[in-house]
Amino acid sequence: MILEFGAFMLSPQRLLRQVGFGMAVAILVDAVIIRCLVVPAAMQLMGRWAWWMPAALARRMPRLNLESRPEPTDTTLAKEHAS
């Protein structure tokens, strides 16, 4: 996006060059300062609260278990008892 807005500076119109320069600087500041410095620092300060999810939304989310064995369900228990 910086290159797209930077291309506006090639225009002979003064207003378009100013808008292009301003938008390119704004995108650069957002990408570097905000997303690389401020957001990680704020998440570090907030700790676990940075990952808080409302209870109603947490109930609707699927339960993914990537690192340990999945919890047994009724069907797996029935298969184990049958054999």
Residue 70 has what pLDDT?
Answer: 61
Full-model pTM: 0.54
Domain boundaries, the chain: 1-46
Q: How many CB atoms lie within 10 A of CB 5?
A: 18
* Contact assessment for residue 8 and residue 17, using Cβ atoms and an 8 Å cutoff: yes
Residue 65 has what pLDDT?
Answer: 77
Helices (H) and strands (E) in the chain, counts: 5, 0
pLDDT, tens digit, 9 for 90 and up, residues 8-65: 888 899 999 999 899 989 999 998 999 999 999 999 999 988 888 888 988 898 888 7
Token pair recorded at residue 42:
């704020």
Residue 18 has what pLDDT?
Answer: 92
Cα–chain-centroid distance for residue 50? 12
Residue 43 has what pLDDT?
Answer: 92
